[in-house]
Amino acid sequence: MGMELHAEQSDYAEMENVEISDTMLFYHVRGALKSAVEGDPDKYKQLVTVMGPDECLVPEKVALMVTCLKALSGSVSCLDIVHHQSLISSILKMSMWNYGTDVMDALMELVISLATFSGQYVDLCLEMLVSNFMPPDSFISLLNQSRGILRKGQVIHHVHKTLIFIAELVPLSPLRLERIITERMPHIFTKEPLILIYVENMLKLESGEIGDRVGRTMLLAIMDRLIDLDVDIAWDDILQEDFTKGIFDMELEDLEGPVDVGQQDGDELRISWMERYFSGNLNAQKLDSLMVLTFEHLNFCKESGRLRQVFDTLLQSFQQTVLTAYKSKFAQFVLFYACSLDPENCGRRFADTLFHKFKTSRYPEWRMSAVAYLASYLARAKFLPISFVAEYLESLLEWCSIYCSNQSGGINPKAHKEFYAAFQAMMYVLCFRMRSVLAVPHIRSRISKHIEDILRHPLSPLMVCLPSIVEEFLRLAKVTRLDVPDNFVSSNLLESELSMAFGGRERLDMFFPFDPCLLMRSDRFIRPNFVYWSMVRSSYDNDEDDDEGTSDEDEIEICTAGKGMNIANDGAARSYDQDLDEFDNEMSKMSITPKVAQWFGGELRTDMQMPSRIRPCPDSL
Q: Are 340 and 381 in contact (CB under 8 A)?
A: yes
Mean pLDDT, rounded, for 512-529: 92
Confidence label for 183 from pLDDT (cuts 50, 70 and 90): very high
Chain segment 395-437, per-residue pLDDT in tens: 999 999 999 999 988 898 889 999 999 999 999 999 999 989 9
Long-range contact set of residues 294-299: C-beta below 8 Å, sequence gap at least 24: 294/199, 294/203, 294/222, 294/226, 294/334, 295/334, 295/337, 295/522, 295/525, 297/203, 297/206, 297/207, 298/334, 298/337, 298/338, 298/341, 299/341
Checking if the pLDDT of 169 tops 60, the result is: yes
Q: What's 464's DSSP letter?
A: T
What is the tally of structural domains in the chain? Answer: 1
**First vs last Cα of the chain: how many Å apart?**
67
Confidence label for 479 from pLDDT (cuts 50, 70 and 90): confident
Residue 68: inside a domain: yes
Side chain identity at 88, as an amino acid letter?
I
Distance CA 49, CA 397 (A): 75
Backbone angles phi, psi at 188, to 5 degrees: -70, -15
pLDDT for position 506: 52
Residue 8: inside a domain: yes
Checking if the pLDDT of 268 tops 50, the result is: yes
pLDDT for position 499: 63
| pTM flag (> 0.75) | yes
Residue 179: inside a domain: no
Distance CA 568, CA 509 (A): 34
pLDDT for position 527: 94
Residue 28: inside a domain: yes
Distance CA 497, CA 69 (A): 75
Distance CA 411, CA 423 (A): 14
Residue 598 CB-density burial (10 A; 0-12 exposed, 13-18 middle, 19+ buried): middle
Checking if the pLDDT of 22 tops 90, the result is: no
Checking if the pLDDT of 4 tops 90, the result is: no
Mean pLDDT, rounded, for 47-54: 82
Q: What's 457's DSSP letter?
A: S
Q: What's 245's DSSP letter?
A: S
Residue 29: inside a domain: yes
Q: Measure CA 367 to chain center.
A: 21
pLDDT for position 564: 30
Checking if the pLDDT of 8 tops 50, the result is: no
Among 119, 45, 53, 125, smallest CA distance to 83 is for 45
Percentage of the chain modeled with pLDDT above 90: 51
> Which domain, by its residues, includes 46?
1-93
Chain segment 528-547, per-residue pLDDT in tens: 999 999 888 766 666 555 55
Confidence label for 49 from pLDDT (cuts 50, 70 and 90): confident
Q: Measure CA 303 to chain center.
A: 19
Helices assigned H by DSSP within 488-551: 491-494, 498-503, 520-526, 533-545
Query: Using H for helix, E for strand and C for coil, what is the string for 260-325?
Result: CCCHHHHHHHHHHHHHHHHCCCHHHHHHHHHHHHHHHHHHHHHHCCCHHHHHHHHHHHHHHHHCCC
Most trustworthy range by pLDDT among 60-69, 368-377, 554-563 = 368-377
Query: Of the given ranges (116-125, 417-426, 467-476, 504-513), which has the lowest mean pLDDT?
Result: 504-513
pLDDT for position 555: 32
Confidence label for 38 from pLDDT (cuts 50, 70 and 90): confident
Helix or strand or coil: residue 217?
A: helix
Side chain identity at 434, as an amino acid letter?
M
Residue 14: inside a domain: yes
Checking if the pLDDT of 119 tops 60, the result is: yes
Mean pLDDT, rounded, for 254-269: 42
Distance CA 411, CA 426 (A): 19
Chain segment 309-325, per-residue pLDDT in tens: 999 999 999 999 999 88
Residue 9: inside a domain: yes
Q: Measure CA 296 to chain center.
A: 11
Among 532, 528, 530, 554, smallest CA distance to 543 is for 554
What value does the mean pLDDT of the chain take? 79
Confidence label for 212 from pLDDT (cuts 50, 70 and 90): very high
